[in-house]
Amino acid sequence: MNDESILGRLRDLGIELPPPPAAVAAYLPCVVHGSLAFVAGQIAMTGGVVLHPGSLGERVSLDEGVDAARQAALQALSALRDALGGSFERLERILQVTVFVASVSSFVDHPKVANGASELLAGILGEPGRHARVAVGVSSLPLGAPIELVMTAAVQAA
């Protein structure tokens, strides 16, 4: 994919790609192996603070969950771009996104939360941004985050 066209699309949408996330424990933010890139779990952060902490259906609204999923997807793209040498040139497509949603047991709108990430990726990348997806509820996530997003992409081997 063309790095400038993706960055241009982000500008057109009024979105700024955040700086590549740093690992907060003993892992790498993204690992590229052959023709696959695996982006580690991203929790939505702004200024080093968890965005909309808490659980969906309790402290966090559906709109806030969608917002957190969008932010986590942007962070995943930033981690991917960084692992690919600072460019999207080798990116072929997003293959799968998994969105973990911290929620109360009665919350059932996990797919709506995950749509925040899915729609953003398709909006930025077009057809190569459409992907297989898992959206699942969990009782808690690191740092009290409302969502955690994991992404796998197809890339051109170096």
Q: In whole angstroms, how far apart are CA 73 and each of 34, 58, 77, 114, 118?
A: 22, 23, 6, 10, 8
* Domain definitions of the chain by residue range: 3-155
Which residue is listed with tokens 């695996």? Answer: 38
pLDDT per residue over 116-140, tens digit each? 999 999 999 999 999 999 999 999 9
pLDDT per residue over 14-67, tens digit each? 999 999 998 888 999 999 999 999 999 999 999 999 999 999 999 999 999 999
Q: Which of 155, 143, 154 has its CA nearest to residue 72?
A: 143
The C-alpha atoms of residue 81 and residue 91 are separated, in whole angstroms, by 8
Q: 3-155 adopts what CATH topology?
A: 60s Ribosomal Protein L30; Chain: A; (3.30.1330)
